[in-house]
Structure 1
Amino acid sequence: MTNRKKVSVGGISFDGEGRILLVNPSYKDRWDLPGGILEAGEDPVGGLRREIREELGVDCRVGQLRSVDYGASDWEGAEVLMLTFFVELDARSPQDFDFVDGEITEVAYHTPETALTMVTPRMTDRLKVALGLVPDGGHGILVRRPLPAAEPSHR
């Protein structure tokens, strides 16, 4: 059995009014944070900077890690570890972004309350932890999820 784990990174960026930048990916039904999947040998900070450059055409400074989440299976059947950081973008106005790779169709800033309604339920959980709207999970910044059922022992 091969170990099929992925690491995804996402960045929370605020405008001067405390609103969160969301992106509308062409390949998803819901809005999302800018970011993506790390490439082989790539560290989370470097990967998030690369993803933001590819998606928005701007550089960023990656700040504090704000949430960690785990998924047992993504759309390709791989385990995924999801890291969410605060980021400061080199541009703040949606007009300053350049959708370099074509994955993003639009960007907009939204209040945290509105943003929570526009993303997937899993992203909502991560944003709530990252923004301090719910208590952290049992291990600091880990999103609380029910533990999977234990597999029966084969003894």
Structure 2
Amino acid sequence: MTNRKKVSVGGISFDDKGRILLVNPSYKERWDLPGGILEVGEDPVTGLRREIREELGIECRVGELRAVDYGASDWEGAEIIMLTFFVELAARTPQDFDFTDGEITEVAFHDPVEALALVTPRMSDRLRVALRMASGGEHGILVRRPLDPLADVWESAHR
């Protein structure tokens, strides 16, 4: 059996009004953070820089890691670890971005509360932790979901 684990990276960036940058991918139904899946042998910082360059046509500085999430199965059936970082973008307005490759259809800054409603529930959970709108759990950044049966077994065994 091969290890089908993937690592995805996403970047949270703000404009001068405190709004979060979201991208609207052509291949997903909901808005998302800029980022994507790491390539073989690629570290998270290099991968996030590459993804932002590919999606937005700009450079960025990768800052603090703010949320870590785990999914037992992504859209292709692989386990996935999702890392969310703060990023500082070289450009500050959507007009400065080059997203003409067809992967991204729109780019816009959204109020944080509005952004939570535009993304998937899983991404909303990560954003809440990253923005300190929700507790990150015992490790500080791990997103814990109430429907996680292993977490419930662990807690009952260690009470």
TM (norm. structure 1) is 0.94
How far apart, CA to CA, are the structure 2 residues paired with 1:147 and 1:110? 30
In 2, distance between residues paired with 1:138 and 1:113? 25
Measure how far apart 1:140 and its partner are.
1.5
For residue 147 of structure 1, report the CA deviation from its aligned partner.
3.2
Matched, 1:104 2:104: yes
The amino acid across from 1:148 in the alignment is P
Q: CA deviation at 1:138?
A: 1.9
Query: How far apart, in 2, do the equivalents of 1:131 and 1:148 lie?
Result: 26
Name the amino acid aligned to 2:73: S
What SS does the corresponding residue of 2:84 show, helix, strand or coil?
Answer: strand
CA displacement, residues 80-131 of structure 1 (integer Å, 9 cap, x when unaligned): 0000000000001100000153200010000001000000000000000000
The one-character-per-residue Cα deviations of 1:65-90 (angstroms, maximum 9, x if unpaired) are: 00000000011110000000000000
Letter matched to residue 3 of structure 2: N
Structure 1 partner of 2:84? 84
> How many residues were matched structurally?
150
SS at structure 1 position matched to 2:74 = coil
Partner in structure 2 of residue 70 of structure 1: 70
Can you list the C-alpha shifts for 1:4-42, whole angstroms capped at 9, x where unaligned?
A: 000000000000000000000000000000000000000
Q: Which amino acid aligns with 1:99?
A: F
Alignment partner, residue 55 of structure 2: 55
The residue number in structure 2 matching 1:147 is: 148
* 1:137 CA drift (Å): 1.4
Structure 2 residue ranges without an equivalent (≥5): 154-159
- After TM superposition, the structure 1 stretch with the greater mean CA deviation from structure 2, 91-100 or 117-126, is 91-100
Aligned mates of 2:118, 2:41 — CA distance in 1: 32
Q: Secondary structure of 2:81's partner?
A: strand
The list of structure 1 runs, each at least 4 consecutive aligned residues, that deviate by more than 3 angstroms after superposition, is 146-150
Q: Which runs of 5+ in 1 are unaligned?
A: 151-155
